Chains A and B, each alone.
Chain A
Amino acid sequence: MSTRSLRGRTAVVGLGETTYYKRGQSPDAEMKLALQAIVRACEDAGISPREIDGFASFSNDRNDPSQLAAALGCKELKFSNMQWGGGGGGGSAAIGNAAAAVATGIADCVVVFRALAQGQFGRFGQGATSSTISGNFAHTVPYGLMSPAQMFAMKVNRFMHDHGVKQEAFRAIALACYHHAQSNPRAVMYGRPLDEATYDASRWITEPFHLYDCCLENDGAAAMILVSAERARDFPHPPCYVLASVGGSHYRAGAPVHNVPDYATSTFKTVAPRLWQMAGLKPDDVDVLQSYENFTGGVLMSIVEHGFVTPEECNDFFQFDNLVAPDGDLPLNTSGGNLAECYMHGLGLNIEAVRQIRGTSTAQVPRAEVSMVISGPMVTPVSSSIFGAEATL
């Protein structure tokens, strides 16, 4: 193992979440939500917020670390980090950035956070409201291509065409997420189960995405605290070690106006091999997976590109029974995920991955020791990470 690795050098010791609200329904301002989640993560870790000396976030979070540190009375700020890129692509990379800072001595106690209050700041899933448009968007928006669903649908359609993937594979993903949300009282869709007939009858957003293939939009905040592996056993909960975290994208993934050469991809083809290499693991070793659903098609492509299944096996692999805890081959999005728990740009998925290691999920996989997260398919950059229990070190 190269010494240039994050494997086992840091651990998550604190988790914090606010109540999750439907979009626009938070009674609290976005910064207050961020502070609440961070304070709760500190309570969970049994530390004072004043001990936090680093902040890491992603997706252009609006809450500036200097202001958060001032508000929390942090003794000193040593690390103030933003993973570039929109959507949830940075959800795992922000954890990797925090882990890298701790592992290399840049900071000692870093909080990864994400806060969203769309009532305060406006929605994602709506189009441009300006009267004119310039630059790259001028080549798409006037043709009615402007929402995230529309930006990704053509990647998924091309993938389905190339590999014969059927709509039922996406349905299985949606059903698994909703199924897990029914045992999670925190989930926005708790008490609102989904069945095949309801999925099939639901309206199209844009083909191939039905309503239930699309993530929620929510208000809330989430936070997790990382410290060095050396200190990690001194906290109330069993440590959850970062075994690997990588991010990035393939050649010219950011080429403008849908011109990336390899188009029908979740962007993980070059990222996933680095993840397995750093973790020293393979897909068979993973006990439970949280895979970011902006749209179900991206989940399927992500799982393919991480090597769990070949494209041609998708129609057989993506079956409801195979994706649910506790007995499925690959229990997926065990909190309900972005489709049915909450859309916190995927930080909620990372928190759920840690819960699985702690043994505290509401859809617990027995003896989960290797818990993986895939963040932000189809955007660039994307990222993924693997957490492990003590026994995996």
Chain B
Amino acid sequence: MSKPYLNPGLPTPVATELDQPYWDGLRAGKLMLQRCRACQRFQWGPEWICHRCLSFDYDYVEVPASGRIYSHQRVWHPVHPALKTQGPYVIVLVELPQADNVRLVGNLLGDPQQPLVIGAEVEGVFEQHADAEPPFALLQWRLA
């Protein structure tokens, strides 16, 4: 397994009733996002109700892990002890055209000082943290 993008020691994500299928999906190498059963539209982050049609009946549906950079930031100042020796790292906000343009937060893999371009096409990389307690996976991105 390749090394995770960020140093170990950040808080471990733990699923809730609302987002359990998402986290289970990442562990299995799939991107599962919330979609309303009534109007068939995606929304993210997960909500108890569809903000469009107000149905409480939602499902999780697999979505291709590909999108484009909506915005970005290169972080320099560490605000968590685990990141003190990290150096700069890149956070991207990725919109998914194949899921009603919902957006996901992730890291952009590669040189942390690479040029950052809004609109650039990216594809997902499932980053497994199998040894964590509890085990989890993150969805990272690289330029397509």
Contact (Cβ within 8 A) A142 B12: yes
Contacts of A208 on B, CB cut-off 8 Å?
Answer: 73
Q: Are B93 and A258 in contact (CB under 8 A)?
A: yes
Instruction: Kindly identify which residue among B10, B71, B107 contacts A158, using a CB–CB cutoff of 8 Å.
Output: B71
9 closest A-B pairs by beta carbon, nearest first, are: A256-B45, A257-B45, A127-B80, A138-B13, A154-B71, A133-B11, A153-B73, A204-B76, A158-B71
Residues of A within 8 A of B (CB): 125-136, 138-147, 149-150, 153-155, 157-158, 161, 203-208, 252, 255-259, 263-264
Taking CB atoms, residues of chain B closer than 8 Å to A263 are 70-71, 93, 103
Q: Which residues from chain B contact A135 at a C-beta distance below 8 Å?
A: 16, 18-19
CB contacts (< 8 Å) of A259 on chain B: these are 43-45, 102-103
Q: Given A128-B80, A157-B73, A256-B47, is A144 in contact with B107 using a C-beta cutoff of 8 Å? A: yes
Further 4 A-B residue pairs, CB within 8 A, beyond A143-B105, A144-B107 = A138-B13, A141-B11, A153-B75, A207-B76
B: contact size bracket: 35 or more
If A154-B73, A158-B70, A206-B73 touch, does A133 touch B13 (CB 8 Å cutoff)? yes
Bound form: Cα–Cα A129–B118 in Å: 31
A-B contact pairs, 10 of them (CB 8 A): A128-B80, A131-B11, A134-B15, A141-B10, A142-B13, A142-B138, A146-B79, A149-B77, A204-B74, A206-B75
Residue B28 interfacial (CB < 8 Å): no
Q: Most chain-A Cβ atoms within 10 A of its Cβ — which of B13, B74, B86?
A: B13
State A141–B138 Cα separation when bound (angstroms).
Answer: 11
- How many angstroms between the C-alpha atoms of A381 and B46 in the bound complex? 21
A interface footprint on B81-121 (CB within 8 Å = 1, 0 otherwise):
00100101101010000000011111100000000001000
Query: Which chain B residues have a beta carbon within 8 Å of chain A's beta carbons?
Result: 6, 10-16, 18-19, 43-47, 51, 70-77, 79-80, 83, 86, 88-89, 91, 93, 102-107, 118, 136, 138
Q: Is the CB of A150 within 8 A of B91?
A: yes
Contact B13 A155 (CB under 8 A): no
**Closest B residue, CB atoms, query A155:** B71
Closest to B7 in A: A144
Give the A-B contact count at a CB cut-off of 8 A. Answer: 136
Q: Which residue of chain A has the shortest Cβ distance to B74 in the bound complex?
A: A207
Out of A132, A140, A155, A204, name the residue touching B77 (CB < 8 Å).
Answer: A204
Task: Among B43, B103, B105, find the residue whose CB has the most chain A CB atoms closer than 10 A.
Answer: B105
CA A264 to CA B72, docked complex, whole Å: 12
Q: Are A205 and B76 in contact (CB under 8 A)?
A: yes
CB-CB under 8 A from B138, the residues of chain A are: 142-143
User: Closest residue of chain B to A214, judged by CB?
Assistant: B77
A258 touches B105 (CB 8 A): yes
A380 to chain B, nearest CB (A): 15
A133 and B104 form a contact (CB under 8 A): no
Q: Is the CB of A132 within 8 A of B93?
A: no
Would B46 and A145 count as touching, CB distance under 8 A?
no
B118 CB contacts on chain A under 8 angstroms: 157-158, 161
Closest CB in chain A relative to B35 CB, distance in Å? 14
Complex Cα gap A132–B89 (Å): 21
How distant is the Cα of A207 from the Cα of B76 in the complex, in angstroms? Answer: 8
Contact (Cβ within 8 A) B77 A206: yes
Known: A150-B91, A263-B70. A138 touches B105 (CB 8 A): no
Task: Indicate if the CB atoms of B79 and A127 lie closer than 8 Å.
Answer: yes
Chain B proximity of A229: nearest CB distance (Å)? 42
Question: Is B79's CB under 8 angstroms from A147's CB?
Answer: yes
Q: Which residue of B has the minimal Cβ distance to A128?
A: B11
Contact of B75 with A144 in the complex, beta carbons under 8 Å: yes
A150 to B92, CA, bound (A): 11
Q: Assess whether B91 is in contact with A142, with CB atoms less than 8 Å apart.
A: no
Q: Specify which chain B residues have a CB less than 8 angstroms from the CB of A161 in the assembled complex.
A: 71, 118
Complex Cα distance A128/B83, Å?
Answer: 12
B88: chain A residues within 8 A (beta carbon): 204
